[in-house]
Amino acid sequence: MPMYEYECVEDGAIVTLLRPMADADKPVEDPEGLDRTFRRRYSVFGVGSKQVEGSGPAPPPMPGVGCGCGKAAHQCGRHN
Q: Which residues pair with 41 in a beta bridge?
A: 5
Q: How many CA atoms lie within 13 Å of 16's alpha carbon, on the beta-carbon side?
A: 4
Would the pTM of this model clear 0.85, i.e. be above it? no
How many residues does the structure list for the chain? 80
Query: Per-residue pLDDT for the chain (80 aa), expressed as one digit of tens each?
Result: 889 999 999 999 999 999 999 999 999 999 999 999 999 998 766 556 565 666 666 666 555 556 666 666 566 666 55
Question: What is residue 1's predicted lDDT score, i.e. its pLDDT?
Answer: 85
The residue type of 46 is G
Q: Are 15 and 5 in contact (CB under 8 A)?
A: yes
